[in-house]
Chains A and B, each alone.
Chain A
Amino acid sequence: MTFVIAELTPGDAATVMAGEKGASNPEIIERYRKEFGLDRPFLERYGKFLVGAVQLDFGKSWFPPYGEIKGVVLSGLKLTALLAALAIGLAALVGVSLGTIAGIWHNKWPDQVATTFSTLGICIPNFVLAPVLVYIFAIQLQALPETWVPNPPEGVVWYLILPVVILSLRPAAVITRLTRASMVDTLSQDFIRTAFAKGVPFWRVMLKHALRNSLVPIVTAIGTSFGYLLTGSFILETFFRIPGLGFKSIDAIYQGDQPIIQATVVLFAMLFILINLIVDVLLPMLDPRIREGSA
């Protein structure tokens, strides 16, 4: 798919590589096509791509510093993964706490606050929240950096605070909702009443009995959200100029650096599948019912 789409996009990478002057000369474009194998028949190139992709070998970038694609992509992945991990951590923390509180005080004011938060969180898109928060925290208060800078002297995390907060809002909202619903559901069940009747302390019932039993949908949500964060930080990375995977792909698309585009898309797909797999493996560990059900 990636290969075909890259193939169909207007503008030829050879035209870009040939530069403004070279591009007006078909002979030079032809030389570039030859050098990068673009003159070979479609199927041959596709085959080559497939063989390489299977071995995770995508060749070298077509543009300086002409690095090995694997390295380029992995260095981007590191940042994106850090960003996603921090965001999902924050989202899980906020989401599970708020959701639990909302579930416990179901229909009371803490619930209303949590519901308002989660509704807002789901409604406000990243690209709206980002400029607003940047305006407040970076421009007005001058407290946080506006955008990424290369080799940040204050440390990478410092520059990721705003993006992480913004990125975590939506998953936090989703997790809040799910936790709340799940808690409400669990709390109405008989075994909770039994636990209370046995004299188990309130917080112990809540955390050990109720929350633990509500975790299945939450973990699933965290897992899928993490997948989305890993693969969906294009907008924020571009906004904050964080040289992660999303940023690099956009950059490569602009340049027409086909090997990088292909490598990132393949990697995105693999990551997504991998995370779903991990979630599927994790669930039975949390909930014996799933384990037994599948046996």
Chain B
Amino acid sequence: MRLFLALLSVLALAVVGCGKGKFGSSAEGKLDHVLVATIASNPTKLDPAQVEDGDTIDVLNQIFEGLVEYNEKNELVGNLAESWSVTDDGLVYTFKLKKGVKFHSGREMTAEDVKYSWDRAAHPDVLSGTVGTETEAGYMSDIVGFEDVVAGRSQSISGVRVIDPHTLEVRIKAVRAYWPMYLQYPCYYVVDKDHAGLKPMVEVSQMVGTGPFRMEKFIDNQEIHMTRFDDYHKGTPKLQTIKRLVAKDAQNRLQLYQAGRADWVPIERQDKVVVDRDPELKEALVVVDRAAIWYVGFAPKVYEPFRDRRVRRAFAMAIDKDRIIKQGFDSINQKAEGIVPPAVPGHDPNFKGIQFNPEEAKRLLAEAGYPNGRGMPPLKMYYRADRHDPKVVSEMVAQDLRANLGITVELAPTEWKALLELRTKGELPFFHLRWGADYLDPQNFLSFMLHSKAKENTLGWSNQEFDWRCDRADSLPIDQQAERFRLYREAERIAVEDAIWIPIYFQRDLELVRPGVTGIRRSSMGPLPHTETEVVWSK
């Protein structure tokens, strides 16, 4: 036995011996002007007309551009468009395009290319899930003539007209103050017609845009390389290369950072303890506000007791959000009173929603006919299975409901694909989900999600008081922003007081950014293209 142990320790020493120095070596010898960041999954699409998840958008944002973009102050500003104007009736927009913008292919971009790109995105064979369809609204549905293209009756959106090579005119169906914000969404990005084609892009060589970087290669489940586009219209980017390493789990990402192999990684909240222990990591920690809300939702359509507002309010009062934020999230995330996140203009900082009040909750539930939860049919709470945060919240919500209302909720962690399908069909009785901004306007959180006619509202909730305020605010022109925001805030109060959603928290993310990486710009939508980002190690 002693011999065996001796052998084992020799073996162990040998491993340690040859290991030291080789592993754990850091920043030395790293290349200047090369940004190495991780990405949490393989890109889900290559085509801007199709993309919708944040990680992939973050990649495509370097390659393709739209007429407008958000700046660091969350203002909508021109990008490929120099300026735009709208007629007095709020229906016709005229965009003046920037001159001298070149595609990666070297060809100059004109209004024809913008029109082609939009017509293409609407084309049924391009399989865009974001532009909309004939029957359901999407990002392009507001443009006159969109339906004819998406239904295959026409190749050209009649509401989009090329006036001259640098002027584009767009006619929309109804006044929508927030409509120009749609244009920062990837389905409106401008693609090179010589490479794109009327099918979804499936090759890297098709990804030709006007952005600061061009797609170099994409190795499945390994890495993505982008190299700078020297003729970029806002000046040559400082970085030479962007590498994104596919690292699907958080452990892996942290390890890549610690080993000096990646310089910018998102980390999970549970890894914060590791970061807190290490001064070097602590210095690199960045907390990022996201324009996203995590909420608990009810579907009165599916679960009968939820048709009673008192039951929903009782649930809302029984949940101790402060405890969730403190115990579950180390106080990193921000407690949500309302629905519209602070990162979105129009957020109401003074709003206080339904407060934690277990006594009142009990009373309300009894009044509704379920004293101590008796008589409630079995209830399942759905949430996404493969993520940590939803599990934490759902478990704590279930604890609170049991402790404060005597209701036993069965937790149903569900695989994402199946969860989406259930949500679409409106079969989730009680759930915990997230909604992130597609554009920074209250409309995207209120009318878009909860209006009785909204396609996202599969809950079976309709409230006329809520609906008319949204309808009115949606149709007000942009110069009446104050009035719009007032109406949205009223609508938000109605939804929260009627407890169709229980807002839990506004998301904040943690990242490690190595000192030496500078010039990262962000809006509440996420990182902006890396035009100013620079990486210098040698000093």
A293 at the interface (CB under 8 A from B): no
A207 at the interface (CB under 8 A from B): no
Which residues 14-28 in B have Cβ within 8 Å of A in the complex? 15-16, 19-20, 22-24
Which residues of B lie under 8 Å from residue A149 when comparing CB positions?
245, 247, 252, 255-256, 259, 261
**Contact among B4, B255, B456 for A145, CB-based, below 8 A:** B255
B222→A147 contact, CB < 8 A: no
Quick one: given A15-B420, A72-B220, are A28 and B127 in contact (CB under 8 Å)? yes
B19: nearest chain-A partner, CB-CB: A143
CB distance from B19 to the nearest CB of A (A): 4
CB distance from B136 to the nearest CB of A (A): 5
Cα-based distance from A112 to B20 in the complex (angstroms): 35
**Contact among B248, B386, B421 for A23, CB-based, below 8 A:** B421
| Interface bits A107-139 vs B (CB < 8 Å: 1, else 0) | 001001100010000000000000000000100
B3: nearest chain-A partner, CB-CB: A113
A254→B386 contact, CB < 8 A: yes
A150→B386 contact, CB < 8 A: no
What number of residue pairs across chains A and B have CB atoms under 8 A from each other?
A: 157
B20→A143 contact, CB < 8 A: yes
A151→B204 contact, CB < 8 A: no
Which residues of A lie under 8 Å from residue B456 when comparing CB positions?
24
A144→B15 contact, CB < 8 A: yes
Which residues of B lie under 8 Å from residue A65 when comparing CB positions?
42, 46, 202, 204, 218-220
B419: nearest chain-A partner, CB-CB: A11
Cα-based distance from A21 to B15 in the complex (angstroms): 50
CB distance from B436 to the nearest CB of A (A): 10
B130→A22 contact, CB < 8 A: yes
Q: Which of A153-161, A182-190, A195-203 contacts B (4 or more CB under 8 A)?
A: A153-161
Cα-based distance from A35 to B24 in the complex (angstroms): 47
Cα-based distance from A248 to B248 in the complex (angstroms): 12
B251 at the interface (CB under 8 A from A): yes
A10→B127 contact, CB < 8 A: no
Quick one: given A18-B129, A153-B261, are A24 and B424 in contact (CB under 8 Å)? yes
A35: nearest chain-B partner, CB-CB: B127
**Contact among A12, A24, A66, A243 for B221, CB-based, below 8 A:** A243
A11→B134 contact, CB < 8 A: no
B42: nearest chain-A partner, CB-CB: A64
**Contact among A142, A241, A251 for B24, CB-based, below 8 A:** A142
Q: Considering only CB atoms and an 8 Å cut-off, how many residues of chain A contact the other chain?
A: 52
A256 at the interface (CB under 8 A from B): yes
Which residues of A lie under 8 Å from residue B204 when comparing CB positions?
65
CB distance from B72 to the nearest CB of A (A): 27
B136→A27 contact, CB < 8 A: yes
Quick one: given A24-B423, A35-B127, A143-B23, are A150 and B246 in contact (CB under 8 Å)? yes
Cα-based distance from A18 to B45 in the complex (angstroms): 10
A161→B133 contact, CB < 8 A: no
CB distance from B203 to the nearest CB of A (A): 8
A148: nearest chain-B partner, CB-CB: B252
| Interface bits B405-426 vs A (CB < 8 Å: 1, else 0) | 0000000000111101101100
B465 at the interface (CB under 8 A from A): no
| Interface bits B130-146 vs A (CB < 8 Å: 1, else 0) | 10111110100000000
A19→B424 contact, CB < 8 A: no
B282 at the interface (CB under 8 A from A): no
B44→A64 contact, CB < 8 A: yes
**Contact among B42, B219, B222 for A63, CB-based, below 8 A:** B42
Which residues 196-252 in A have Cβ within 8 Å of B in the complex? 241, 243, 248, 251
B58 at the interface (CB under 8 A from A): no
CB distance from B314 to the nearest CB of A (A): 29
A241→B23 contact, CB < 8 A: no
Quick one: given A32-B127, A150-B246, are A256 and B455 in contact (CB under 8 Å)? no
Question: Could you list 6 examples of A-B contacts with CB < 8 Å?
Answer: A16-B420, A19-B50, A19-B130, A21-B138, A149-B255, A248-B221
Q: Which residues of B contact A (CB under 8 A)?
A: 1, 3-4, 12, 15-16, 19-20, 22-24, 42-46, 50-53, 124-125, 127-130, 132-136, 138, 202-204, 218-223, 245-249, 251-252, 255-256, 259, 261, 386, 415-418, 420-421, 423-424, 455-456, 458
